Structure 1
Amino acid sequence: MDNVNVAELVERLGSEEDAARKMAVFKLQGVIGDPSFAELFITQGGLTRLRYLTLHASGNTLAYSLTSFARLLEVDKGWDCVDQELVQRIVELIVTHPLVNILRGAMSILVSVVSHPHAGNQADPDAFGFRALKPAIAIYPQFLEMLVSRLSSADHALCANALQLINSLMRDSITYDSEAEWPKFIQRLQDLGVIRAVYVLMQDSALQDLAHPLLEFQSLTKVLLRKWRDIPLDQEKPEHRRALKGIYLASNPTKGSDETNENGDETRRSKRHHAEKWRKLGFESESPASEFSEVGYLGMMDLADYVRSHHDEFQKMLLEQSTKPAGQRCPIARASLAVTSILYEHFEVDNSEIEDSKTFMLMESRSSLDKLFRPLLLHWTRLHVAGLQVFFRLWKATAAEIEDLDKIVELVRILMESVVGGAGRTKDVQDMLGGKHLNQVREELQHEALQFVKEQRIRCLLHGAWFALDSSSKVDVRASSHQYVQLSHNRRYLHFGEFDSVAEKAPELDALPEKIDLSTVSSVVSNISTNPDDASASTVKTAPRQASTKITIHGHAPSPNLTHTKNQSHARTGSRSTQKEIVLLTLRPASHSVASEWLDGLLMLLNQQPITTETNKLIDLVSNYGLKIRLLNVRFDDATFAGEVPPVPGREGLDEDYYYDVFGGA
């Protein structure tokens, strides 16, 4: 500043030569940020000349003038020259001018105007804040659209300026506009795509250049969520009443319920249905407004958004639940409110902006910035829908009942912490919750169930069973009518023998004269139907036109020239391929259950997949039961106890006659 002659600089600002004005204002932008220089500049009459250039100059002269004026306002000087004419000029430039260096300065000026305390000019309360821009925006209604579009600029400084101005407009509207006005403005910005644009910026590699305005937008998002949450649901308010009614109407209440008789009068059944219209949607009572006490109007918005955006899914869910007993129906409305509460707690919405700002000041490294920003917060509605759909999947997968509601809520909370909490800054919004994790658990349990049922089926073979003797396979056709078959303890041989009747006591394994080396078995076939359409009941069915169920074991007759080795099983695909396949044994099971046990037992013993409907249903039953146990058995240290883990009971004072009751405690 010591090298700048203020009087000479002011005089050159008023020169008739554009080159002189350009040089003067170029020099001015570098020194005007000094408060003492700014004060001297104003006393020398420079403010009116700077304002004139701001209003009438063009090209670089205009760009330098805008930057100078913006820096003057940043040191809280020059407010006397801020009026509607100036504001309208700046708004016009933002809407119509393409040059980045002009747009940056123009946006910076409006940021100061909008952010200036309203008490700064008692004579004209409309001179500052968002209201100062409204007359100009009325002339240039495309202003907000152009402003949001600048968030996609390749120039990061311009993106930052545009976002700063959007933040200022949002903050002023939330703080000073009426309850009826600020939601409309926020909705207008969202309709223009501000959420998507900021979301993309948060995932950009040049995060450092935009860190401050992005953090402020994230904080403002929390302010908005908190403000909506703090609005109690009031059915006296038309918009609240409309939202609640919209949810009810989306349930298609006339379908299958509001029946009428020939005279057009509602039947008794429809009146009874109407008496539980809110419980049917999953509310706990017929006074739904009271159930929004914890999440306020935010919970209403989330539920209404889901009902509107997933209308068909909502109706289908209601229809499915209506066929179940009341205690087994998924409480859709309560589930939605619970997911809203989970998201609110997960993102720590109640944390003050000061805490966020302090955190930011401590964040310097790139990795720290990655942890600080939460892009998924911006997609609140989509996360709510994903969380709600996870709730539905868990409810169905565990066959939950209404007393399991809190456990399902805790499962969703744990998944939210795990999946959303562990998502990196660049993680895109998708079906992140439940699907992958639930499928992984289901696959693990399906494998465990398969092994469990395999062992059960093989144990049936180890136990042995009686079969009616197939006359075509009798060794001695004189008197035998039944055969007893049993798997050896080492599971390598199938022993069998023929008997003239079924004995009360099963014969010993040594009493069975014949045996089949399972390494010689090539295939096991049966006439048992595996078509699900033929097995609607939980039994194995015989295929059409079959007199009885039959299991046939095929293999290769032992060759006298074949040396028995450890690799004998390889013969089935090697040297066995040249041998003739024969029937080694035919079994005629006495019941469908025995047929399923022995056919699938033999297949699984040979490391093949089971094929009967009965066995596969058993596998699914075991798997689903295990899924319910695993999911509903929420660990207390994960969910139930939010505070400290309860202490482990000590053994002081106990003698040797001590035991632990797993149901009642020590």
Structure 2
Amino acid sequence: MDQADIPALLSRLQSDEDATRKMAVFKLQSSINDPAFADLFIYSGGLNILRRLIMATGGNTLAYSLQSLSRLLEVDMGWEIFESSGAGELVERVVELIVTHPLVNILRGAMSILVAIVSHPQTSTGAIRIPGAFGFRALKPAVAVYPQFFEMVVSQLNSADHALCANALMLLNALIRDAITSESGAGKDAIGKSTGTGEEWPKFIKRLQDLGVIKAVYILMQSSAMQDLAHPLLEFQALMKLLLRKWRDVPVDLERPEHRRALKGIHLASAPEKKEKITPVTTRAEGPTDKEDELAEPAEPADTSKKGSKKHNPEKWRRLGFETESPAWEFDTTGFLGMMDLTDFVRKEEDGFQKLLMEQSSRPMHERCPIARSSLAVTAILYEHFQVDKSDVEDAKNYLVLDGMKNYDKVFRPLLLQWSRLHSASLHAFFRLWKATGAEQVDFDKVVELVRILVEQVVGQATRTKDVHEVEEEIAEFEYSRLRDLQMDVLELTFQDEWGQHLRQVRDELKREALQFVKEQRIRCLLQGAWFPRATSHKDDGNRHQTPSSWRYVKLSHNRRYLHYSDFGSPTKHEPTLDELPEKIDLSTVSSVVSNVSAPPDEASSISSSSTLKTLSHAPKQTSTTKITINSFIPGSDNRSQSSNGNDEPVERAILILMPPTHSLASEWLDGLLMLLNQAPITAETNKLVGLVSEYGLKIRLLNVRLDDGYAGPPEGAGVVPSREGLDDDYYYEV
């Protein structure tokens, strides 16, 4: 619309005919977001006309008027309409429309205007002439007239109209941000101060939660209607992080009644009258304040002359899982957020809490699972997992603009809105892992790490649409053995990044140690001895078969220098001694050990410390031709086949052939003989055993080393040359 037409437009906007006004305001809404047009419109007195239309009209005329004002505010113009006389009535009119009007197009415009009013102090770059004209303070008188305002706004989160739903969420975002960032309520220690809402910000947030805001936004965040709601949902997610951070930054202070009530409520929920054995205490240290006395119930000096002498349990707070009898300082890391999580768990699961305490009380103190400390640890784990300290809403918006729908699962974290349920599920997992591992209190940090990995695996890998109930079930059913495997993978990756070169050195060292271990194990199999069948061949219908005609028992001497053997008709009940084995081979004369050992395709590779054949009934069927040949050099003149050519060079000849009946026995004896001769093992079974032992050694070392150990520097006093002052020559060495 041309700026020259503004006088005519204003004239039509003031017409007594509704059709004329409707057409004029319809054209106005499409032109007013042009700053030049808007500036002339305001200069010509258009704001007052627009205000009258909003106050007096209805239907589409009202809808277009609201939309026009909303678009004017979007270009950061027209704010004086809320700083002039009659601004209060205008705001009340907009609030009234939200509470009482059913038409979607009117509700969209009304909410958009309120979003601008509440958000203006947060976005304005200039000074606001009348401070109370914006923020929630501007809405407070109208909300007092229409107390169902919040309920109606929250109900629009379920609207099928995505634009209305988005506007409602933006309005709630603006209200929450105004409540928790208001100057009068800002600061870490401002939990009890009033905000722009006229009430303490925690009470205001709880009021919205009670109306179902969290549940409604959680459903929206998991829905498919993300395109129109992405930005307000992201802002709400960022605000939830801000809220959690604000709770965490509130220190637990027992001077505050609400903090004292929360802590005392935890104690009372434990049913102390049922579990505690009240014992008189005759002494106490210099006393705390009277309020601390009331909370911790410290003992009064014994006075037998007074019947009402005060008594208390000396482990009142430690039995609940605190480290000391002064629990307030233990909330330093998690702040009041940790107190809220613990209180919420105790309140929702009071019976389970009492049963758990009863179960733990039957154990020695060092074996008890510290419930309170566990709860605080879980709070810290969730806080770290969701990166609450990191607010990246702007980056996330850019992420969405660039990549669209495919990145919604990466950006949105609906489970953040289920904080309390995740805390309870993770805390139960903590108790389960404590029991499964047989942990003691010195192992507390190790269980914390297991829970941290569990949360990363289950919560971190959950998709955007995965329901919290499924997540709870997965946390409850996650197997401990699988969790340990994940822990080792994480540890290995972490140490690979931090200690790459050192880790490779440790691997090499452990592989050498594992090789020595397996060498000893294989040689011990030779020292134990084994039965080997001796096969003879015969023909049956043209086919060659092998049947055992006798058995050979082979055993390594204790000094590991000779291989003793002898043939028997059948395996004896008792293993023959070396004295019963007249034949022997000097291993120093052995030139080579060769074999056709290979793992049969249908035989699973097994690792056995001893596969010795004990009796004939244990012998498998001779279906394989596996053999081990031990060779030795003999002079050429002793070889009849070559005596005619006069060649005296030594010739290799087989001096002993073994026919192992099983693959495991073949692996043990072949590699045992090779390693005895200081040669490398060659079978897959032995190499698998070497790898298994070295990997277990690495895992044990990783579990016993913390990441910061390598940077701790030398221990105190290391490298200091001891003084010889006071020493004489009268000393000796103890050998």
Q: TM class, shorter-chain normalised?
A: 0.5 to 0.7
Q: Is it true that 1:337 corresponds to 2:376 in the alignment?
A: yes
SS in 1 for 2:275: coil
Shift of 1:303: 0.5
Relative CO higher for 1 or 2, CA cutoff 8 Å, sep ≥ 6?
1
When residues 46 and 355 of structure 1 are mapped into structure 2, their CA distance, relative to the original with a 3 A threshold, is closer
Match of residue 657 from structure 1: none
Match of residue 460 from structure 1: none
When residues 287 and 218 of structure 1 are mapped into structure 2, their CA distance, relative to the original with a 3 A threshold, is same
Deviations 1:343-368 (A, max 9, x none): 01100011134554465456523121
| Two-structure CA RMSD over aligned residues (Å) | 3.5
Out of 234, 238, 258, the residue aligned to residue 219 of structure 1 is 238
Match of residue 102 from structure 1: 106
Cα pair 1:420 1:432 within 8 Å, conserved: no
Match of residue 337 from structure 2: 298
Deviations 1:437-463 (A, max 9, x none): 22775999xxxxxxxxxxxxxxxxxxx
Cα distance in structure 1, aligned partners of 2:394 and 2:436: 40
Please give the residue correspondences for 1:281-292 in structure 2 after superposition, counting only pairs within 5 Å. Answer: 281-292=320-331
Cα distance in structure 2, aligned partners of 1:639 and 1:63: 68
SS in 1 for 2:433: helix
Cα distance in structure 1, aligned partners of 2:366 and 2:398: 47
Shift of 1:435: 2.3
When residues 237 and 165 of structure 1 are mapped into structure 2, their CA distance, relative to the original with a 3 A threshold, is same
Cα pair 1:258 1:266 within 8 Å, conserved: no
Out of 411, 417, 423, the residue aligned to residue 378 of structure 1 is 417
Match of residue 168 from structure 2: 162
Please give the residue correspondences for 1:631-642 in structure 2 after superposition, counting only pairs within 5 Å. Answer: 636=702, 640-641=706-707
Match of residue 427 from structure 1: 466
TM-score (norm 1): 0.65
Cα distance in structure 1, aligned partners of 2:451 and 2:708: 15
Cα pair 1:339 1:384 within 8 Å, conserved: yes
Match of residue 199 from structure 1: 218
Cα distance in structure 1, aligned partners of 2:230 and 2:704: 34
* Number of positions where the alignment pairs a residue of Structure 1 with one of Structure 2: 469
Cα pair 2:154 2:213 within 8 Å, conserved: yes
Match of residue 267 from structure 2: 248
Match of residue 661 from structure 1: none
Identity %: 61
Cα distance in structure 1, aligned partners of 2:394 and 2:8: 47
Match of residue 190 from structure 1: 209
Residue type at the aligned position of 1:377: L
Cα pair 2:3 2:40 within 8 Å, conserved: no
Match of residue 481 from structure 1: none
Cα pair 2:400 2:408 within 8 Å, conserved: no
Q: Is it true that 1:88 corresponds to 2:92 in the alignment?
A: yes
Shift of 1:206: 1.6
Cα pair 1:116 1:128 within 8 Å, conserved: yes
Q: Is it true that 1:137 corresponds to 2:203 in the alignment?
A: no
Determine which structure has more spread, i.e. the larger CA radius of gyration.
2
Please give the residue correspondences for 1:337-486 in structure 2 after superposition, counting only pairs within 5 Å. Answer: 337-353=376-392, 356-357=395-396, 360=399, 363-430=402-469, 431-438=472-479, 441=482
Residue type at the aligned position of 1:96: T
Match of residue 67 from structure 2: 67
When residues 108 and 331 of structure 1 are mapped into structure 2, their CA distance, relative to the original with a 3 A threshold, is same
Residue type at the aligned position of 2:238: S
Residue type at the aligned position of 1:152: N
Match of residue 366 from structure 2: 327
Cα distance in structure 2, aligned partners of 1:421 and 1:643: 28
Cα pair 2:238 2:393 within 8 Å, conserved: no
When residues 200 and 639 of structure 1 are mapped into structure 2, their CA distance, relative to the original with a 3 A threshold, is farther
When residues 400 and 433 of structure 1 are mapped into structure 2, their CA distance, relative to the original with a 3 A threshold, is farther
Cα distance in structure 2, aligned partners of 1:283 and 1:405: 13
**Residue segments in structure 1 that go unaligned for 5+ positions in a row:** 445-488, 490-507, 513-563, 567-629, 647-666
SS in 2 for 1:190: helix
Shift of 1:212: 0.3
SS in 2 for 1:154: coil
Cα pair 1:410 1:639 within 8 Å, conserved: no
When residues 259 and 511 of structure 1 are mapped into structure 2, their CA distance, relative to the original with a 3 A threshold, is closer
Shift of 1:122: 5.1
Match of residue 14 from structure 1: 14
Cα pair 1:12 1:20 within 8 Å, conserved: yes
Cα distance in structure 2, aligned partners of 1:12 and 1:324: 86
Cα distance in structure 2, aligned partners of 1:306 and 1:40: 60
Cα distance in structure 1, aligned partners of 2:138 and 2:130: 10
Cα distance in structure 2, aligned partners of 1:413 and 1:236: 33
Cα distance in structure 2, aligned partners of 1:642 and 1:153: 53
Cα distance in structure 2, aligned partners of 1:188 and 1:225: 16
Please give the residue correspondences for 1:26-37 in structure 2 after superposition, counting only pairs within 5 Å. Answer: 26-37=26-37
**Residue segments in structure 2 that go unaligned for 5+ positions in a row:** 186-190, 193-199, 281-303, 486-550, 552-569, 575-620, 624-695, 713-735
Deviations 1:6-52 (A, max 9, x none): 11111111011100100111111111111111101111221111111
Deviations 1:171-202 (A, max 9, x none): 00101153331111100000000000000000
When residues 41 and 367 of structure 1 are mapped into structure 2, their CA distance, relative to the original with a 3 A threshold, is same
Residue type at the aligned position of 2:150: L
Cα distance in structure 2, aligned partners of 1:79 and 1:637: 63
Residue type at the aligned position of 2:45: G
Q: Which segment is superposed worse, 111-120 or 287-296?
A: 111-120
Q: Is it true that 1:126 corresponds to 2:132 in the alignment?
A: yes
Deviations 1:537-579 (A, max 9, x none): xxxxxxxxxxxxxxxxxxxxxxxxxxx9x9xxxxxxxxxxxxx
Cα distance in structure 2, aligned partners of 1:170 and 1:290: 30
Cα pair 1:219 1:356 within 8 Å, conserved: no
When residues 412 and 639 of structure 1 are mapped into structure 2, their CA distance, relative to the original with a 3 A threshold, is farther
Cα distance in structure 1, aligned partners of 2:410 and 2:268: 42
Residue type at the aligned position of 1:73: L
When residues 350 and 439 of structure 1 are mapped into structure 2, their CA distance, relative to the original with a 3 A threshold, is closer
Cα distance in structure 2, aligned partners of 1:337 and 1:296: 9
Shift of 1:641: 3.0
When residues 404 and 213 of structure 1 are mapped into structure 2, their CA distance, relative to the original with a 3 A threshold, is same
Cα distance in structure 2, aligned partners of 1:358 and 1:442: 35
Please give the residue correspondences for 1:558-597 in structure 2 after superposition, counting only pairs within 5 Å. Answer: none
Residue type at the aligned position of 1:410: E
Shift of 1:103: 0.4
Residue type at the aligned position of 1:124: I
Cα pair 1:390 1:434 within 8 Å, conserved: yes
Deviations 1:311-331 (A, max 9, x none): 111111101000000010000
Shift of 1:369: 1.6
Cα pair 2:248 2:338 within 8 Å, conserved: yes
When residues 77 and 634 of structure 1 are mapped into structure 2, their CA distance, relative to the original with a 3 A threshold, is farther
Cα pair 2:378 2:427 within 8 Å, conserved: yes
SS in 2 for 1:133: helix
Deviations 1:473-523 (A, max 9, x none): xxxxxxxxxxxxxxxx9xxxxxxxxxxxxxxxxxx97679xxxxxxxxxxx
When residues 441 and 354 of structure 1 are mapped into structure 2, their CA distance, relative to the original with a 3 A threshold, is closer
Match of residue 25 from structure 1: 25
Residue type at the aligned position of 2:241: K
When residues 356 and 221 of structure 1 are mapped into structure 2, their CA distance, relative to the original with a 3 A threshold, is farther
Cα pair 2:108 2:163 within 8 Å, conserved: yes
Residue type at the aligned position of 1:95: V
Cα distance in structure 2, aligned partners of 1:643 and 1:424: 36
When residues 206 and 295 of structure 1 are mapped into structure 2, their CA distance, relative to the original with a 3 A threshold, is same
Cα pair 2:156 2:164 within 8 Å, conserved: yes
